[in-house]
Structure 1
Amino acid sequence: MGQKYLSSIAITYCQPRKIFMPARREQVLFLDYDGVLHPDAVYLSRQGPVLRAEGELFMWAPVLVKILEDFQEISLVLSTSWVRNLSFKRAMGFLPVDLGNRVTGATWHSSMARDWADENKWDGRTRYDQISRYAARAQLANWVALDDDPEGWEATAQHRLVACNPDLGLGDPQTQRLLIEALQRMTSR
C-alpha cells in the first residue's frame, strides 16, 4: 500500500460535512481508528498513515457500516489520535462516506492547542478521560466508546466501553457482538 492507495481513499471519501456539538439526547458512539478499524500497527510517514501489519487501513470499516445500518440514530464522535496528528478534516476524510456522514465532532479540537501550554498534557490523558470530558461538555447521557485502550476506565463507566483486541479490532466476531449489544442497550433507554 502506498501513496496512491491513501490518495484514492481521500479522494473517494473526503466530502464536506456539517460539524456540531451533539444534542443532549443524541446517542453517540466514540470511535477510535487504530486497533478498531484496522490493526494497531499504524505509523505516520511523510506520505501519511501506513499500516505495518497484514491487511489495509480501514479494512474493518465496512463491518461498522453494516452494524450501524440497524442504528440509524447513532452519531459518531472521533476519539482517535488521528485528529490531533492529521487534523479533523483529514482524519475524517479517511472514513467511508457512510461513516463520515455520521460524524458530529471529535474529542480533540485544534483550539485546544492554544489553551494548553504543554500539549503533551493531552497525550498523557487516558482515552477515558478524553471521552468523558467531551461527554460532560456536551451533556451526553447516551454514549458508548469503541476503543482498543481500556486503561483508566472507571468501574462505573466500564459498561460504556466496547474494548477491542488491538490486533483484531472489529474483525473479531465477539467484539462485533459486544458492540451490537452495547448499542442495543443504549438505544433502548
Structure 2
Amino acid sequence: MQTNTRVLFLDFDGVLHPDAVYLSRQGPTLKAEGTLFMWAPILTNLLVDFPMISLVLSTSWVRHLGYKRALAYLPIELQERVIGATWHSSMAKHWVDENLWDGRTRYDQICRYVARSQLRDWMALDDDIQGWAEDSAQRLIACTPELGLSAAHTQVELRRHLEKY
C-alpha cells in the first residue's frame, strides 16, 4: 500500500447503527429501535465529495464473521471503498492466544495496521474512545454509541476531518 493512501477506519456498532448488536445463530441482531446499518446512507452521502478516501474495517464483525461476510453487510457504495481490515484471519496463526487481539484497544489495533501499511493520512470513526494516545486523539471522530452517525455534531466533525485531507 502506498503511504499517500487516505484511510478512514470504520467501526460498525455505535457508528452505522446503535451499539446494541448481538450475535445469534441467525447472525447479527440489533436489540434497539431501528435496523442494522440504518445510518450507513449518512456516511455514503458524506463521502460523495471525497472520492480519495478509502475505508478499512476496524470492527469486531470481521473477527467474528470473517472479512467477506462483514463486508457484505455494507451498502455497495461503501463496499467499493473498502481496502482491508484491521483483523485478518492469518493473524490467528501468529497469536498464541487470539484473545490477545480482542484484549487490545481499538486504537492499538488501528496503530498496528497503520504501521504495517505505513499510512500517513488516516482517521477513525468509532464509538470506542478508550486508550487513544494524546498525539493521535485528533484523528478520532468519536460517536455516541446510541446515536452514531445520526448525531449532527458527529457528521459536522467527520466532514471537518475529511476536508483537511
SS class of match (2:130): coil
Question: Pick from 103, 108, 125: which aligns with 2:104?
Answer: 125
Runs of 4+ deviating beyond 4 Å = none
* Aligned counterpart, 1:49: 28
Q: CA RMSD in A?
A: 0.5
* Structure 1 residue 156 corresponds to structure 2 residue 135: yes
- Partner AA of 1:42 in structure 2: V
SS of 1:105's partner is strand
- Bigger Rg over Cα: 1
Q: 21, 30, 35: which one pairs with 2:14?
A: 35
Which position in structure 1 is the counterpart of 2:148? 169
Q: 2:85 aligns to what?
A: 106
Aligned residues: 165
Alignment of 1:135-150 (within 5 A): 135-150=114-129
State the match for 1:10 in structure 2: none
Structure 1, residues 99-138: CA drift from partner, whole Å, max 9, x if none? 0000000000000011111111001100000001100110
- Distance in 2, matches of 1:52 and 1:141, equals 37
State the alpha-carbon separation in 1 of the partners of residues 35 and 133 from structure 2.
33
Where does structure 1 lack aligned partners over 5 or more consecutive residues? 1-21
Hey, what's the Cα distance between the residues in 2 that align with 1:40 and 1:49?
12
Distance 2:161 2:138 in 1: 8
User: How high is the sequence identity, in percent, across the aligned residues?
Assistant: 63
Shift of 1:184: 1.0
Point out where structure 2 has 5 or more consecutive residues left out of the alignment.
none
- The alignment's TM-score, normalised by the length of structure 1, stands at 0.87
Look up the equivalent residue of 1:93 and give its one-letter code. A
